Amino acid sequence: MTQAGTRAALAPDDALDPDAPAPRKRTSLSSSAIYERIKNMAATYEFKPGERINEIELSKRLEVSRTPLREVLNQLMVEGFLERTANKGFTSRPLDAKQVFDLYEYRLGLETAIARLACKRATDAEINDLEAITLRDTSIPDDSDSAELLALDEDFHMRLARLGRNEEFVRALANVNARIQYVRWIDMRNGRRPYTQAEHISIIEALKARDEAALVTLLESHIARRQDQITEVIKLGYSEIYTRSKL
């Protein structure tokens, strides 16, 4: 038998069939990359509020197998980014004013506790570093991309959290920030940024003075949102979601 004949005999049948479907491309995504990808889709409402997550279509879209995908979906459900019902399976979380209000209230409790720790534990050098970074960020124009402005705002609060030297608070704040990210992005698109920057500077001044009472009061003013304010932002959010889906 010739070499060509030997190769043909050893090759699988579909390798000889020009009409056979191409083998499915294997994904190079790690479990953590799958997690980050789907978490971002959920956080930005790429899945519309209340939409059922079609696991088969999603696995094809991301080119991942169902097993790691299901593990990620379960993790995101536990973390509050998705919901699950007996009849519908996994669904996108609602964009609900009461739920968002509760998250803002939770965030406020976290950040005021963090501030008290930061007053006691942050070094002068660390506070000066935070001030320098915040002042640098004020040079970025207010009409910059909203996602960039929101990232700067989140970075300030996470840096402040790390000054408290409690990793549980840091993790909890990162989770709640991600769950209200879309609402905060809408807020930033509608002119919130100038107030945010000025308030950050005032917060740092209170921290430098180790004035815990003033720091807590400033954070309460900076973070707290009335439910009617949140309702208005959510209306804008729904408009953006369904306008985006038509493009």
Domains and CATH numbers, the chain: 3-92 (1.10.10.10), 97-244 (1.20.120.530)
User: Which residues lie below 8 Å from residue 29, measured CB to CB, with a gap of 6+?
Assistant: 37, 62, 63, 64
CB-hemisphere CA count at 13 Å for 213?
0
Work out the pLDDT band at 22, boundaries 50, 70, 90.
Answer: very low
pLDDT at 28: 58
φ and ψ of 241, to 5 deg = -60, -50
What is the spatial distance between Cα 89 and Cα 148, in angstroms, rounded to a whole number?
Answer: 34
Predicted confidence (pLDDT) at residue 207 exceeds the cutoff of 70: yes
Do the Cβ atoms of 161 and 114 come closer than 8 Å?
Answer: yes
Q: What pTM value is reported for the model? A: 0.81
Query: Running DSSP on this structure, what letter comes out for residue 25?
Result: P
